[in-house]
A and B are shown apart, each in its own frame.
Chain A
Amino acid sequence: MFRRDRPTAGPATDHTSEDRTAVPLIAAAGVSVVLDARPILDGVDLGVSPGHIVTVVGPNGAGKTTLVRVLLGLLPPSAGHVNRRPGLRVGYLPQRLSFDPVLPLTVARLMTLTVRRSRSAVLAALAETGGDHLITTPVQALSGGELQRVLLARALLREPDLLVLDEPVQGVDFTGEAELYRLIGTIRDRRGCGVLMVSHDLHVVMAATDHVVCINRHVCCAGAPAQVTRHPAYRSLFGARAAAVAVYPHHHDHTHGPGGEVVPLNPPPAAGTGG
């Protein structure tokens, strides 16, 4: 299958946004979307290569989710086109996933919604995101943070070439946020998959990203996080808040387990990923 062709991700050493030689997994070229005569997106270009984390930031109503829907093939663009590598396998973590209590669903069953996998494979995927203790829990009983871990594990179980995460830290508290972004970085390092993330928050996500695309209907600016935060368009878009936000590559000497307990990091992580 196609997944064999991807550049093997050895110990991921270089994820700078300049290293974009690989064929993109997915690329939007001049994508415009008009809904009910209202322009939502205008001429957006964007590509995600294997092993790269691309984050789309922008204010509410900027068209971030619409862009994701176009990239995933859920919404046809009014103009422009989307190229996906043939046979591309996508793992998707949608925004605002809620479960109807009338449908009984355990985490184990949710995990195998679109793939057939053995229970041990399900457990392994859950362990990768720190959610293995939740396997028999009904999905309706999950907290916000637990749900995102489970959904991330579910996407990983598909062994995706491309992870698409729409607001992955929703409903997650602040420490959990940084933790979740770190986890996404770790997954990229380990699996070499491309990651497309959507976020409206700025500073934590910047540290975990190779390439930032700042949109407000059109692409305002794009580049490595350090460049983007200095860009005038970015500052005008996010106002005074942006000025206060420095790119924030940082190290932790400990992390938090799924129950919030402190887990020491041994050995400490390699160099920070920020620009």
Chain B
Amino acid sequence: MLDDFFTRALLAGIGVALAAGPLGCFIVWRRMAYFGDTMAHSALLGVALGFALGIDLTLGVVMITTVAALLLVFMQRAPWLSMDTLLGIMAHSTLSIGLIAVSLMAWLRIDLMAYLFGDILAVGRADVMWIYLSASGVLVVLAAIWRPLLAVTVHEDLARAEGVPAGPVRLLFMLLIAVVIAFAMKVVGILLITSLLIIPAAAARRAARTPERMAVLAALIGAIAVILGLHGSLYWDLPSGPAIVTAAALLFLLSLAPRPRTAAAARPARSVPHAPAPPKEGQ
């Protein structure tokens, strides 16, 4: 079964999507879309580091993206620059430094496009195995920190006052993003990773009433996007990474379609069955 390149690609993509969906929900809830994107942009530098040190490329990517995340957290304390400016600086400078580093290593003949936009049709058996190992690892850790991470996401002071170790939980969360970036890179590439994290989560929002359901839905929507995108890529000869992202975007558009019953259930009328609310009350 794994002899077929298309089956391998499908399995690899679904594995990535299953982990990226729930993790992406937290990225959406915590408003970290560009934070994640900046981490992803630094991944090429990780690839260069991996080549330069002769270590595993995935390990290099995890290391560099984690360092980038910590650097961002540290720079957040600079009160004279806003976060979006910092993210813009970090994202493009790390990507540029990565591109320069790769080009300086003249002996390397790597396919830059494969790193930037993904090359899922080239994944081998070992890649598929590694993707599933890391994806299950990410999901197990995420499940373990789910409750404290959600509490910190809803209200950090509240969570800390009630004994949730906010710092370690957040650090672990960033490490999970780094791991997902490292193995999602093969599927959609550095420049498109954020979409695989965010679009399925956004598409799941309207159909979900609890955070847990939104996470499960995001994983499923991501997997469907991979299946649709890869088939589109196969039948119309489209680039596979962009095809997957486009499929996810179409699913997101579909989720915006008016669905009277679900929409009404998500926002019931103010539940004051008896008297009209006093005029001052309300927000």
Contact = CB atoms under 8 A, between A and B. Distances in A.
Contact of A106 (B150, B210, B283): B210
Contact of A102 (B28, B276, B280): B28
Interface in B129-187: 147-148, 150-151, 153-155, 157-164
Interface residues of A, number: 45
B92 interface: no
Contacts of B276: 260
B162 A259 contact: no
Given A103-B29, A173-B281, A73 B161 contact: yes
A143 B277 contact: yes
A158 B162 CA distance: 9
Contact of B270 (A72, A106, A141, A174): A141
A120 interface: no
Interface string A179-219: 00000000000000000000000000000000000000000
Contact of B274 (A114, A116, A137, A257): A257
Interface centre among A100, A110, A113 (most CB of B within 10 A): A113
Contacts of A146: 271
Nearest to B204: A104
Given A97-B155, A103-B153, A173-B280, A259 B272 contact: yes
Nearest to B267: A141
A74 B160 contact: yes
Nearest to B210: A109
B153 to A, nearest CB: 7
Nearest to B201: A102
Interface in A96-135: 97, 99-100, 102-106, 109-110, 113-114, 116, 133-134
B208 interface: yes
A81 interface: no
A144 B208 contact: no
Given A90-B162, A144-B282, A144-B283, A99 B154 contact: yes
Given A143-B277, A259-B275, A106 B209 contact: yes
A257 B277 CA distance: 12
Chain B contact residues: over half helix, strand or loop, or mixed? loop
A92 B275 contact: no
A164 B161 CA distance: 10
B268 interface: yes
B270 A143 contact: yes
Interface string B182-216: 00000000000000000000000100111101100
A171 interface: yes
A137 B281 CA distance: 17
A69 B158 CA distance: 10
Contacts of B280: 173-174
Contacts of B270: 141, 143
B267 A138 contact: yes
B258 interface: no
Contacts of B54: none
A259 B274 CA distance: 5
Chain B CB within 10 Å, residue with most, of A102, A134, A175: A102
Interface string A130-166: 0001100110110111110000000000100000100
Interface residues of B, number: 42
B143 to A, nearest CB: 14
Contacts of B279: 173
A220 interface: no
A159 to B, nearest CB: 12
B211 A103 contact: yes
Nearest to A170: B283
Nearest to B166: A74
B283 A100 contact: no
Contacts of A97: 155, 158
Given A92-B158, A105-B211, A138 B266 contact: yes
A116 B146 CA distance: 13
Contacts of B153: 103
A99 B148 CA distance: 17
Nearest to B278: A173
Contacts of B147: 113-114, 116
Q: Which 10 residue pairs across A and B have the least CB separation, nearest first?
A: A259-B274, A173-B280, A260-B275, A92-B161, A72-B161, A173-B278, A114-B162, A103-B29, A104-B208, A113-B151
25 contacts: A74-B161, A90-B163, A94-B155, A99-B154, A100-B29, A100-B31, A102-B28, A103-B29, A103-B211, A104-B213, A105-B154, A105-B211, A109-B210, A109-B211, A114-B147, A114-B162, A137-B268, A143-B277, A143-B281, A144-B283, A147-B283, A164-B161, A174-B280, A260-B275, A260-B277
Given A104-B211, A141-B270, 14 more contacts: A74-B157, A94-B155, A100-B29, A103-B29, A104-B213, A110-B154, A113-B159, A133-B273, A138-B267, A141-B268, A147-B283, A171-B281, A176-B281, A260-B275
Interface of A: 69, 72-74, 90-92, 94, 97, 99-100, 102-106, 109-110, 113-114, 116, 133-134, 137-138, 140-141, 143-147, 158, 164, 171-176, 257-261
